[in-house]
């Protein structure tokens, strides 16, 4: 699959996850075989008012290539300026526009999923960004404000006409948040309606789900969010399954190795104290299902330093090995 001029090597995308898909996590996921990684959503207004925080959110490394940076806002000029700035900084290889966030604070400013009921503004916004950048441009949308999918089809058509290069569809309504089920039938219909690539997202909990979404809907690639938190290896597993019909289960050594790697890169990126605060929660995702994980999680909640975290990981590895 190609998105504009970028050849995508594989069929997996990491979903943007606020507070989670930071640079250290993206690097880990990339090593685990993900074809396209994504930043969390970044505010266009924030870029102009709180550039220090924004610069951290959009900082990237060459190894992440191709990296998609997702931006949100409702002002066509501001969004175009932000997209242009990202292109000039060479921070991303793809720019994605958020049409899916249903958090009140975002919807109130007319951004995120609010754009799905403002087709004229959506068109103006996308045309303005398209004119400002040469980078591949994608949008990530929901079904819309009701379950019919009509909002999604309308916005996707507007996007295709405005020169957007791919559409990512998470087929839940604005009101659903993350509850209920994603309606994959809408991905099937979206694929039939558009000539640009369609990436399907929502409720891929395991390798078999990814295979099912690709074969049932005909989408060009799948985007995985929550399932990658406890299993970053899911991306290479999906590739293996698509190629051979089976996939390897990560060894304990690989799992603990990934935890140690994430610990080190969190500390490098965020500094020791903030990293430790975040790692107390983050590291516990990886040990789901491993015997003794609940007492390990308790010990993780008291991490005081990078060395402390690494020694707890080593200790638990020895215990379970
Ligand atoms: C904690 C969390 C943060 C999220 N942040 C974003 C975001 O920044 N931008 C976005 O487009 N979607 C965001 N989403 C939605 C996901 O990208 C994805 O569409 C959704 O989780 C469904 O995919 P999944 O079933 O594979 O998790 C977020 C979801 C969660 C659970």
pTM tops 0.95, yes or no: yes
Question: Which tens digit of pLDDT belongs to each residue from 156-172?
Answer: 999 999 999 999 999 99
The dihedral through the CA atoms of 68, 70, 74, 78 has a sign that is negative
Are 40 and 164 within one domain? yes
Give residues with Cβ within 8 angstroms of 189, minimum separation 6: 149, 153
140 and 269 together in one domain: no
Q: Is 142 in the pocket of ligand 1 (CB under 6 A)?
A: no
Is the domain of 174 the same as that of 154?
yes
Strand partners, 137: 95
For the residues of 43-73, what is the DSSP string, one character each? Answer: EHHHHHH-HHHHHHHT---GGG-SEEEEEE-
105 with 174, same domain: the answer is: yes
Distance 315 CA to ligand 1 centre (A): 33
* Residue 219 designated active-site: no
Q: State whether 154 and 274 are in the same domain.
A: no
Give the total number of structural domains in the chain. Answer: 2
The CATH number given to whatever domain includes residue 226 is 3.20.20.70
Same domain, 112 and 234: yes
CATH number where 261 lies: 1.10.1200
Full residue range of the structural domain in which residue 145 is found: 2-244
Same domain, 266 and 211: no
- 32 & 171 share domain: yes
The CA distance from 68 to 13, in Å, is 10
pLDDT at res. 209: 98
**Residue with CA closest to ligand 1 atom 6:** 17
| Structure token digits, residue 314 | 């080593």
Kindly report the backbone phi and psi dihedral angles of residue 166, in degrees, each rounded to the nearest multiple of 5, phi listed first: -165, 155
DSSP single-letter state for residue 140: E
* Residue where a domain stops, chosen among 186, 217, 244: 244
Which residue do the tokens 């983050």 mark? Answer: 282
Last residue of a domain, one of 244, 277, 308: 244
- Model pLDDT, residue 204: 98
Ligand 1 contact, 310 CB (< 6 A): no
Which pLDDT tens digits describe the chain residue by residue (321 residues)? Answer: 999 999 999 999 999 999 999 999 999 999 999 999 999 999 999 998 878 889 999 999 999 999 999 999 999 999 999 999 999 999 999 999 999 999 999 999 999 999 999 999 999 999 999 999 999 999 999 999 999 999 999 999 999 999 999 999 999 999 999 999 999 999 999 999 999 999 999 999 999 999 999 999 999 999 999 999 999 999 999 999 999 999 999 999 999 999 999 999 999 999 999 999 999 999 999 998 899 999 999 999 999 999 999 999 999 999 987
Whether residue 258 sits in one domain with residue 240: no
- 115 and 90 part of one domain: yes
Q: Which atom of ligand 1 is nearest to the CA of 204?
A: 26
Residues 197 and 54 occupy one common structural domain: yes
């Amino acid at each position: 699959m190609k998105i504009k001029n970028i050849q995508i090597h594989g069929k997996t995308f990491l979903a943007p996850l606020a507070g989670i898909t930071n640079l250290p996590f993206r690097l880990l996921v990339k090593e685990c075989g993900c074809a396209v990684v994504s930043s969390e959503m970044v505010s266009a207004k924030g870029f102009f008012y709180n550039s220090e925080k924004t610069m951290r959110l959009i900082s990237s490394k060459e190894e992440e290539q191709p990296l998609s940076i997702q931006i949100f806002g409702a002002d066509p000029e501001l969004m175009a300026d932000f997209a242009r700035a990202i292109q000039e900084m060479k921070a991303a290889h793809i720019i994605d526009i958020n049409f899916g966030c249903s958090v009140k604070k975002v919807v109130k400013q007319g951004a995120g999923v609010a754009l799905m009921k403002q087709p004229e503004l959506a068109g103006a916004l996308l045309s303005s960004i398209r004119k400002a950048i040469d980078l591949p441009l994608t949008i990530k949308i929901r079904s819309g404000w009701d379950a019919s999918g009509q909002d999604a089809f309308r916005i996707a058509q507007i996007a295709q006409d405005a020169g957007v290069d791919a559409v990512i569809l998470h087929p839940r309504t604005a009101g659903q948040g993350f509850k209920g089920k994603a309606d994959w039938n809408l991905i099937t219909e979206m694929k039939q309606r558009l000539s640009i690539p369609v990436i399907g997202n929502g409720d891929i909990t395991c390798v078999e789900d990814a295979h099912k979404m690709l074969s049932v809907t005909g989408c060009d690639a799948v985007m995985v969010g929550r399932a990658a938190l406890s299993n970053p290896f899911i991306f290479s597993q999906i590739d293996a399954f698509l190629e051979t019909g089976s996939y390897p289960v990560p060894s304990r050594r690989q799992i603990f190795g990934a935890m140690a790697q994430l610990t080190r890169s969190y500390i490098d990126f965020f500094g020791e104290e903030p990293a430790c605060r975040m790692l107390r929660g983050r590291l516990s995702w990886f040990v789901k299902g491993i015997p003794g994980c609940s007492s390990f999680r308790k010990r993780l909640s008291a991490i005081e330093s990078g060395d402390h975290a690494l020694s707890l990981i080593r200790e638990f590895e020895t215990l379970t090995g």
